[in-house]
Structure 1
């Protein structure tokens, strides 16, 4: 993985996602199938849609929106949906790149094809080409990881707003009337509800999106590693011409 994405991976969701069994594997067998990563993403999103439908049937979504006058929970959910859709599109792109690399179609404008052709040029700087390939494979993920952290920050912002409302309500109390305890308790729990709901929503979105982005990064890591291995294999394999000579001025023999 490129060094620029290291700070993003220290986020809470990424740290939890890395502890999931199989999350650190470069590429699972199912992902190596045709568009396997995209199919895994579809299955994951299917589970989330089913869970969301169950919550809607139970009335949880309505209560969630009604209990949060700041609408930060709605913003977190919309941000999660948008980033998840982008993750699916990115999984499709990486799957196409994997198919081109495995099929040997290096002339179709693929990143790995450009890398292999560039490293075969005389005097080519392999490290520079490797940096270009790494940026093409991982670069777009940086913004997604940043937005994943924004979900957590929005949840913490909701917590601050909720406790601020709670503190203001407590500060406005001049005296305690036992006959108004029910109304007082209702007004106080409003700020506490905002704090808890936004925090839980932000944490949940951060973890679930972190799982998706972690698999994207692992798949991209495997793609870059396989392209590099293929490049080294071509470099170490001498190509003989019709006259029996090797590559350039190298002799055909040992």
Structure 2
């Protein structure tokens, strides 16, 4: 919740100060737009997974309280605990299945995180190409063309810097979200396996 609040506040401030609009409007390659869209998609996935894991934790608390009336597939913890192969000596496969259901789709989020970095680096390369291409025909350049040349070079450098900055900041924020989701998924898996082992020993 704190991360969402800080991210929202940062986005509000960049929008309020006009920095966000300036970055988007000055990037004629539209790579920043793609990065922002990827961040929005990744954050949406992270939000959906956060709700899913919160629901699974609530189901696990109900299981510990003695409630077991779950439909098949509703609770990954209940499916693991009631599966015939869930005995500690044979339950490795089912634990892996539960882990896949708990955090498998997080790989999509990590892919988007890496994609944002690569898009930022692509923008860096494109920006430098734009800057260097403006130097063509420099030997025929007269004084009146220097202003145009400087504007083209500045535009290329701006594209390189802005796309790199947006890509890095977006990937860091999205990476933190999925790191926290992975930690919560691991916590749920460990608690479920430990609960299964304690029940077997008690019986």
Structure-2-length-normalised TM-score: 0.90
RMSD: 1.9
Return closer, same or farther for 1:123/1:161 CA change in 2, 3 Å cut-off: closer
- How far 1:116 moved relative to its partner? 0.6
Residue 97 of structure 2 corresponds to which residue in structure 1?
Answer: 132
1:100, 1:106 within 8 Å by CA — same for their partners in 2? no
- How far 1:55 moved relative to its partner? 1.6
Residue 181 of structure 1 corresponds to which residue in structure 2?
Answer: 146
The CA distance in 1 between the partners of 2:37 and 2:156, in whole Å, is 22
Please state if 1:92 is matched with 2:51.
yes
Aligned length: 197
Residue 52 of structure 1 corresponds to which residue in structure 2?
Answer: 11
Residue 136 of structure 2 corresponds to which residue in structure 1?
Answer: 171
Return closer, same or farther for 1:122/1:73 CA change in 2, 3 Å cut-off: closer
The CA distance in 1 between the partners of 2:137 and 2:4, in whole Å, is 46
The CA distance in 1 between the partners of 2:177 and 2:88, in whole Å, is 39
For the residue of structure 2 that corresponds to 1:170, the secondary structure is coil
Question: What residue ranges of structure 2 are gaps of 5+ in the alignment?
Answer: none
CA deviations 1:61-89 (Å, max 9, x no partner) are: 22111210011101111111121122111
- How far 1:45 moved relative to its partner? 2.2
1:106, 1:114 within 8 Å by CA — same for their partners in 2? no
Question: What residue ranges of structure 1 are gaps of 5+ in the alignment?
Answer: 1-39, 239-254
For the residue of structure 1 that corresponds to 2:29, the secondary structure is coil
The CA distance in 1 between the partners of 2:108 and 2:142, in whole Å, is 52
Return closer, same or farther for 1:123/1:142 CA change in 2, 3 Å cut-off: closer
| Aligned match for 1:194, one of 159, 163, 177 | 159
Residue 231 of structure 1 corresponds to which residue in structure 2?
Answer: 196
- How far 1:232 moved relative to its partner? 0.4
1:120, 1:235 within 8 Å by CA — same for their partners in 2? no
Residue 82 of structure 2 corresponds to which residue in structure 1?
Answer: 117
The CA distance in 2 between the partners of 1:52 and 1:112, in whole Å, is 37
The CA distance in 2 between the partners of 1:55 and 1:79, in whole Å, is 18
For the residue of structure 2 that corresponds to 1:171, the secondary structure is coil
- How far 1:58 moved relative to its partner? 1.3
Q: Which moved more, 1:225-234 or 1:56-65?
A: 56-65
Higher helix share: 2
Residue 110 of structure 2 corresponds to which residue in structure 1?
Answer: 145
- How far 1:233 moved relative to its partner? 0.5
Residue 29 of structure 2 corresponds to which residue in structure 1?
Answer: 70
CA deviations 1:23-48 (Å, max 9, x no partner) are: xxxxxxxxxxxxxxxxx2xx422322
The CA distance in 2 between the partners of 1:181 and 1:60, in whole Å, is 28
